Chains A and B, each alone.
Chain A
Amino acid sequence: MASTTASIVPTRSEVLWLFRSLLRTARQFTDYNVREYTKCRTVDGFRQNRTLTDRDALASAFSYGKAQLEIAKRQAIVYSLYAPKVKSIMDIKP
């Protein structure tokens, strides 16, 4: 699978779709720390790869991001299954 996607350079709209999907999935995490980390890591990761021009580097960054999105989707479900009844104090509005 990696070999077929490795050479295909993602379009601008595909990259934006990945970015939005990652942020949307991040918001679904019940755990405060994982949610904030996923948001922050997504933004920083896209910012860091903004200047990529090499075709192979672009393709591999995109396929890595897609794999991360799949993990995030699965784990958001797992976390929601075992969410503690009590929220983190960071999630409780004073």
Chain B
Amino acid sequence: MASKLLASASSTLRKTLSTKPNPQHFLCRLSSSSSAAAVAADPSPADSYEDANGITMKGVRISGRPLYLDMQATSPVDPRVLDAMLPYYLSRYGNPHSRTHLYGWESENAVETARSQIAAIIKASPKEIVFTSGATESNNISVKGVMHFYKDKKRHVITTQTEHKCVLDSCRHLQQEGFDVTYLPVGSDGIIDLHALRSAIRPDTGLVSVMAVNNEIGVIQPMEEIGSICKEFNVPFHTDAAQALGKIPIDVEKWNVSLMSLSGHKIYGPKGVGALYMRRRPRIRVEPQMNGGGQERGIRSGTVPTPLVVGFGAACELAMREMEYDEKRIRALQERMLNRIREKLDGVVVNGSEERRYVGNLNLSFAYVEGESLLMGLKEVAVSSGSACTSASLEPSYVLRALGVDEDMAHTSIRFGIGRFTTEAEIDKAVELTVERVEKLREMSPLYEMVKEGINIKDIQWAQH
């Protein structure tokens, strides 16, 4: 269905091409036709269909399951993690807060073991770990909880423009309540300016929140330096380390963080579980978001989900054991991918710093290609244009805009996420398919033709419609 629409779109393109149209018109039409295809193929459950020969879903027919390169959105559950979880879905179903029987005791033991496994990977004490439903909840507790608790004296929050949506939205919520928020800009490499941070701190600053590894561009912020600035001014420092956990070494003492958000499903653990690290010395206090039975020392009421927490703990222990091995493999795969794409294509730009980045994230912009059509064409590769939360819209990513990436390049970004289970053959296949698709789209693009003829696109005066 979508391919039919695309085919008809490309045939109209060819027609319009022969009549020398305005190139911008061409781009508009292409993007509107791709969104039309998405609307037309709106999935009713009856629409998706699977047999031994292939899958049909959302009007797209695929002969096999796509190769998965979207590890920043979520990662597959490691079989070793699932193996640790399954007993707690079968006979060991006790509520960890039950104090009167064996079911409760064995669950409680499992939860406490997991708590120490998570504490070990970030070099904290198990008493400083609070289980939550994920990094989004941890970020909400950190940003809103801290500011609400200290609201009499502290009225100012500092964060960055490239934070995850849930931190930015929590900050916006605080603004509506009358708090001040400073959104620090980032450089073209995605890293914040430490002098800007230092000068943004005020006597009433109650929190600095900077994410460790960016979810879209994989840039690693200078955590130790930010931590020491916060220590100097005695401001609590919160970091969203969902994308950093198990991938780069984390030490809460070296980073001097007061709060840290962690997530299970980014490190080959289960979805629906996360943790919040809360420093005990000096003690940081928050106002709970969820009131109830007083579990997790009253900070997060609600029954702790034993199987998920056990899985999260097992994933952390595994990540600690495998970090070095995984890093080595993933680095080799990322270099292989980047080198091969650069060998075959020109106009490929890596978004964000190339040196200070987590190796499993490769965010590339392909010049003169419309991102959505590239993604639609790459249906055998599961990738996204940015974060999963915003990739449904045709708007370019706010993270790339914060880097100062040009509008046209921001529209062409693709994020390749490489992980523990990615193979060399998959990388080669992904490169082959991407190169093929980009070349095809460039062949159709009048912009690319003009650039080949030596016309500078920035000098063109576009006619108004």
Contact residues, B407-462 vs A (CB, 8 A): 420-423, 425-426, 429
Q: Is the CB of A75 within 8 A of B423?
A: no
Q: Mark A1-36, 1 if CB is under 8 A from B, else 0.
A: 000000000000000000000000000010001101
Contact residues, B58-80 vs A (CB, 8 A): 62-68, 76, 79-80
Report the separation of the CA atoms of residues A4 and B454 in the bound assembly, to the nearest whole angstrom: 75
Q: Does A74 lie at the interface of the complex (its beta carbon under 8 Å from any beta carbon of B)?
A: yes
Q: Which residues of A contact B325 (CB under 8 A)?
A: 41, 44
Q: Is the CB of B420 within 8 A of A37?
A: yes
Q: Is the CB of A33 within 8 A of B50?
A: no
- What class of interface size applies to chain B in its complex with A? 20 to 34
Q: Which residues of A contact B380 (CB under 8 A)?
A: 89
Known: A87-B65, A92-B64. A75 touches B76 (CB 8 A): no
Least Cβ distance of A61 to chain B in Å? 12
Q: Which residues of A contact B420 (CB under 8 A)?
A: 37
Q: Which residues of A contact B67 (CB under 8 A)?
A: 88-90
Known: A33-B422, A75-B83. A89 touches B76 (CB 8 A): no
Contact residues, A46-90 vs B (CB, 8 A): 68, 71-72, 74-75, 78-79, 84-90
Q: Is the CB of B79 within 8 A of A88?
A: no
Report the separation of the CA atoms of residues A74 and B79 in the bound assembly, to the nearest whole angstrom: 9
Q: Does B55 lie at the interface of the complex (its beta carbon under 8 Å from any beta carbon of A)?
A: yes
Q: Which residues of B contact A44 (CB under 8 A)?
A: 325
Q: Does B51 lie at the interface of the complex (its beta carbon under 8 Å from any beta carbon of A)?
A: yes
Known: A33-B76, A71-B79, A86-B50. A92 touches B63 (CB 8 A): yes
Q: Is the CB of B79 within 8 A of A75?
A: yes
Which one of A72, A78, A79, A90 lies within 8 Å of B426 (CB-CB)?
A: A90
Q: Is the CB of B65 within 8 A of A88?
A: yes
Q: Mark B310-333, 1 if CB is under 8 A from A, else 0.
A: 000000000000000100000000
Q: Does B82 lie at the interface of the complex (its beta carbon under 8 Å from any beta carbon of A)?
A: yes
Q: Which residues of A contact B68 (CB under 8 A)?
A: 33
Q: Give me the 10 closest cross-chain CB pairs, A-B, nearest first.
A: A89-B64, A33-B421, A75-B79, A92-B64, A71-B83, A88-B65, A36-B423, A37-B421, A86-B55, A89-B380
